[in-house]
Amino acid sequence: MKLQSLHDLYVRELKDLYNAENQIIKALPKMVKAATSPELERAFEEHLQATRQQVERLERIFQRLDESPRGAKCKAMEGILDEGDEMMDLDTTRDTVSDAALISAAQRVEHYEMAVYGTVRTYARQLGYQEDARLLQETLNEEGEADKKLTGIAESRVNVEASRTA
């Protein structure tokens, strides 16, 4: 389909995000299981709940636009999650090292999401879709909070313990 305006590009990018979020919903339960720190496990569980709400926000936007959420595959998220699988398969002698690898994988996901939500939020504002912009900003804030929480867990505990040499 030929994109004829920012509106068309907006819809296309929302479809990409919708697919990306659904890939994340499939991947997060594996990350919950792989986490050894209870704090990290809880962070992933909470973000899984948040992600389900993010999908609902996107569905509300698609309804308003009278468009289907389907039709795009986020290859970037597929690649990022493939790398996450590799991280989970790393051989480590210490749980905190594998938790550090999990955090690294999860932060790649959050940063990709922040990039795209920031872009589509800005498109929504330009297009005068204020309610969309509000919903997208809400999700953008959640992705940022998830990222900060992961940084906190890494810096306060996981990286500290993983760096011990004995």
Q: Which residues bind Zn ion (CB under 5 A)?
A: 16, 20, 74, 76
Helices (H), the chain: 6-34, 38-65, 75-89, 95-127, 130-153, 159-162
State the minimum distance, in angstroms, from the CB of residue 112 to Zn ion.
7
State the minimum distance, in angstroms, from the CB of residue 113 to Zn ion.
8
Residue list 101-140, contact with Fe ion (CB under 5 A) = 113
Find where tokens 């990286």 sit: 159
Closer CB to Zn ion, 74 or 162, in the complex: 74
Burial grade of 127 (CB within 10 A; 0-12, 13-18, 19 or more): middle
**Is 25 an interacting residue with respect to Fe ion (CB under 5 A)?**
no
In whole angstroms, give the CA distance from residue 30 to residue 113: 19
State the minimum distance, in angstroms, from the CB of residue 21 to Fe ion.
5
With CB under 5 A as the contact rule, the residue among 74, 102, 120, 133 that binds Fe ion is 74
In whole angstroms, give the CA distance from residue 129 to residue 138: 14
Closer CB to Zn ion, 25 or 76, in the complex: 76
Reference 154, options 89, 110, 116, 114; nearest CA is: 110
Closer CB to Fe ion, 56 or 85, in the complex: 56
Closer CB to Fe ion, 37 or 51, in the complex: 51
